[in-house]
Amino acid sequence: MSKLLKRLFSLLFNNRGTSDTLINVTGVSDIDNAIPDKWAPGAFLDGVAKSFWKKFMGKEGSRMPIITSNQFAPKGAKTNNVVFNTLAQMYSSGVSGETVLKGSESKLKTGVFCITPELYRNAFGITKKSTWQANFDEVQRAGELVKIWANTEISFQIFESLLGVGSAQTLYANSRTSIDTLVSTDKFGTTELDLGWLALKRMGAMPIAVTADNDGEEIPVFGVVIDAIDMYNLQASSSWVQGKREAYSGQGEKSPIFTRALGKYGGLLVYEFSGISGAEERGSPLRPECQIYGTLTTAATTITVGSDSDENLTRFFATAGTLQIEDEFVTYTSKTNITFVGCTRGVTINGVGSTYVQHVDKAVTQRRISNAIFFGAEAAFFGWGEEPIPIGEKEDYGMRIGIGIEGYWGIRRKIDKRTGRAPNLAILKAYSGNPGTI
């Protein structure tokens, strides 16, 4: 019989006949047995393993899009850097004929890329139940929630790093020149796939693989992650359908079942990100979206999209910018977790006017614009500098228990110091209209 069951039966028999049996018998220290020794690192690593970007992660030299490393600091040293080594491109011309090569060799240049991990924490509160079993069940549930949080947070942070302002080349659907010039016909399609692939190739991006065509010519293979609505628009393209049919009908291309991509087109593996389960109220990093909470009157200059300020429903929206609600354009100057502040209603964008009207429970988007992330190998780095540890707290005489996790990690795009740009990354923006009537 396990130690836990013996302890439970002992408490049951020692308190028979009392009206408060098993009340106040558990606290943070009492439920340690419910938390395995490696619970926190296991929960964190399980969260990493289940994150969207796990399939793109690999160690140095793996040619994966996200390069990972863990260099644990000595205990108590919270600022240990995680160091990555990268290889620079060779630009020398070499020599010809009988020219002496010695002294003109291309030098193997190793770049050092550092990430300073940041502290991230989260916890889940438990109100003490009347039995050991109830408390143990709650602890088990808290552990699962921590894994879900780690999964969600790591996925979102990688997206936010790749989409960060500056350094990455920005493209626009249908060869437009800015967000303001995008119109409803500028949806994501095969032309955009070709544009993104060409941009990476011209930048000299490091491919994640190389294939050969029927003539033996090598073709670099890159990846792209697109939003679910862009995937819907892409699948409506006859060029996409025909391209997939030809790729998987005796031409030697692997099925997406083996590449884990939804399809391969013109040297691109296409992946779809439709958001994280339970986070639908805020769309995804590729296409920010939330919903008006109740009614937005015509006179309102603050747009409320939720009731609980602990929920960050505006996380993926720009700090300031332009929103679209139905056919109305709205500019805002700042935001909180659940509001857009300093709004100017019914503005004109690119010569297209709008009128401020009342909206009830309608979708709010960042101008109905989506982002597609085109990437090669070594697009970003992910490292953690200290093994995650469990944390706990109790208050109200032990009636409320908090169980959580803290860890140090960091994520950064790879930047070429010579050009100041992200050499293996390009972002393409397209028009992405709302499905349905919201």
What confidence tens digit (pLDDT) does each residue in 271-282 have?
A: 999 765 444 567
At residue 79, does pLDDT exceed 90?
A: no
What CATH architecture applies to the domain 3-88+109-165+379-413?
2-Layer Sandwich (3.30)
Q: Give residue limits of the domains in the chain.
A: 3-88+109-165+379-413, 293-361
At residue 239, does pLDDT exceed 60?
A: yes
51-60 LR contacts (CB < 8 Å, sep 24+): 51/150, 51/151, 51/154, 51/155, 51/158, 52/155, 52/158, 52/273, 52/276, 53/154, 53/155, 53/158, 53/382, 55/260, 56/223, 56/375, 57/382, 60/84, 60/85
Can you give the pTM of this predicted structure? 0.78
Is there a contact between 309 and 277 (Cβ–Cβ < 8 Å)? no
Q: Can you read off the two tokens belonging to residue 259? A: 């590449």
Q: Give the tens place of pLDDT for each residue, 117-145.
A: 666 666 656 565 545 455 556 666 666 76
Taking the alpha carbons of 258, 264, 267, 269 in that order, is the dihedral positive or negative?
A: negative
Per-residue pLDDT band for 229 (boundaries 50, 70, 90) equals very high
pLDDT at residue 285 in the model? 92
pLDDT at residue 28 in the model? 46
**What is the identity of the amino acid at 405?**
I
Which range of 45-49, 134-138, 239-243, 373-377 scores highest in mean pLDDT? It is 373-377
β 369-375/218-227 pair status: antiparallel
What is the mean predicted confidence (pLDDT) over 382-411? 66
